[in-house]
Amino acid sequence: MRRVPTASGATAVQIVHKRGRVVVDVEHIGSAHDDAGLELLLHVAHERLHAGQQVLGLELSTANPQNPADAVAVSARPVVEATGSLILWQALANVYDALGFAVMRDEAFKALVLGRIIEPTSKVDTIRVLGEVGVTSPSRATFQRCLRRIVERDYRETVSHACYTHATRGGGLALVLYDLTTLYFETPREDGLRKVGMSKERRVDPQVTVGLLTDKTGFPLAVHLFEGNKAETKTVVPVLTAFREQHADAKDIVVVADAGMLSAANLTSLEEAGFSFIVGSKTSKAPYDLATHLERHGNAFDDGQTIEATRTMGTGKNKRGRRVVWQWSRKRYRHDIQAINAMVDRAEAVAAGTRAVKKDRFVTLGDADPTVDWNLVKRAQYLAGLKGYVTNVDADTLDGPAVVVAYHDLYQVERSFRMTKTDLAARPVFHRLRDSIEAHLTVVFAALAVSREAQARTGLSINKILKTLRPLRTATVTIGRQQITAEPRIPAEAQTILNDLTQGGH
């Protein structure tokens, strides 16, 4: 309600309706030329403003303890008792429940999973994270008991079943992706599980290796823990065999893996176990597989062209002919040439003595000073743009282009691994005993599934979802003797995310 002077010298009385700081309507009550008329208009405006409603009493009586009858009326001021990111918590909890994880009826496990998504940290520090979010956190002792329950009750299998059910809700699986990564420990000591092994980051810390099986979108289906020095090729058959035993209807699936799986013995083991595969091939094999084409056409290819060949692999009774599909891509060619030029620059720097000798490609080390192996450079340039794929899937089932498309989905499992290492901070691992490490991996597995599903529903990264929703703080406010919950104003972008997370999204 406001008073506004008019051009005629009168005073206008108006009721202003606002939404936030924006005026949405102005209701004119009338104009008065004297005090009596103004008082009447103010009374009318007051009655219309409250429309017969009771006015919320915001006065408190402060009594004098020496004379209870002597009370002083004071205004009660709103007090914010607590705030929390309850909207974010509920949105993630909805996805957790939708995946079927609530079947475990374990609120401590749920807290560990969602807490790791919101802010990955130690189990003890998760108590702080949950407090900042505004939800009641289990105690440290409760979390420790939960870690034991995860192993004793085999939560990993329950999560895996739920993930498989979710992934196959639209039909069976025809393709799965497999890759292996390492999780290191901040300790110098090895034991039966944590061992120094081949590290892609060239670390020398004790580590464990983790095999991850996903569907073609990167949604996790199974995760397995191996010793840190376990060879990559020795993990895929046990993982696939366990997966098939767990899911009786998981038949006739094709596993896609990178070139690290490529050994004649390993592929033979996959075939003997009844699995089909598509694995990457090393480019160094191209001159032999493509000898006829290279002899007739040199390294001239059309963009996207595929050429099929047969490669003999293995010896003795394990000697078999493998189907190999090669594809040339202009985009890959530009990328390869750029990478080759960068490696040539480093090799020339080594030869000039301005760069220390490392494991640089194109550098020849001998009795004399290091030199650039230009024959090797020319060979790499000659084969730039080519990528090979070895498979035992019949061409009538998957032709060459289809094999290429299937393999390209492998980047999705690599994205999932990056999420576990960055967004979910699965490493370094601070647990020591195998059961504790297994429990930690199960929490990360479930958190990855929730994160992947949230991304699939919204089309946004989990990091973007968190940055948008976490600042929306719900407040508990005390006014006098009353306590109310104040919901935050939700921007349009955040509302779209919430709708997608609740309704299933894209």
Quick one: which of 427, 414, 426 has its CA closest to 179?
A: 414
Q: Using CA atoms, how far apart are residues 220 and 164, in angstroms rounded to an integer?
A: 8
Query: What pTM does this model have?
Result: 0.74
> Under a CB-based contact definition with an 8 Å cutoff, are residues 206 and 445 in contact?
no
Cis peptide before 428 (omega within 30 of 0): yes
Tokens at residue 284, please? Answer: 């160094």
Q: How much is the pLDDT for 72? A: 46
Domain boundaries along the sequence of the chain: 1-53
What distances in angstroms separate CA 29 from CA 13, 19, 44, 47, 187, one per listed residue? 6, 20, 8, 11, 77
**What is the 8-class DSSP label of residue 292?**
H
In the block, tokens 């301005």 appear at: 354
Annotate 327-351 with b (16+ C-beta within 10 A) or e (fewer).
bbbeeebeebeeebeebbebbbebb
Q: How much is the pLDDT for 108? A: 96
* Alpha-carbon dihedral 412, 418, 422, 428, rounded to 10 degrees: 140
Q: Using CA atoms, how far apart are residues 450 and 297, in angstroms rounded to an integer?
A: 50
Three-state SS at 121:
coil
| Phi, psi of 260, deg, nearest 5 | -65, -20
- For the chain, how are helix, strand and coil distributed in percent, rounded to 5? 45, 25, 35
Tens of pLDDT along the chain (506 residues) come to: 778 787 667 787 777 776 666 666 777 776 766 665 566 557 657 666 655 455 455 445 545 555 554 544 444 578 888 899 999 999 999 999 999 999 999 999 999 999 999 998 888 889 999 999 999 999 999 999 999 999 999 999 999 999 999 999 887 778 888 887 776 665 556 666 666 656 655 566 678 788 889 998 889 999 988 876 677 667 888 888 889 888 888 777 888 888 776 677 888 888 888 889 999 998 999 999 999 999 999 999 999 999 999 999 888 888 889 999 999 999 999 999 999 999 999 999 999 999 988 888 899 887 778 899 999 999 999 999 999 999 999 999 999 999 999 998 887 877 776 776 665 555 455 556 788 888 989 999 999 999 999 999 999 999 999 999 999 999 988 887 788 888 999 999 999 999 999 886 55
Q: What are the residues facing 212 on neighbouring strands?
A: 179, 223
Q: How much is the pLDDT for 52? A: 47
Tokens at residue 22, please? Answer: 């924006």
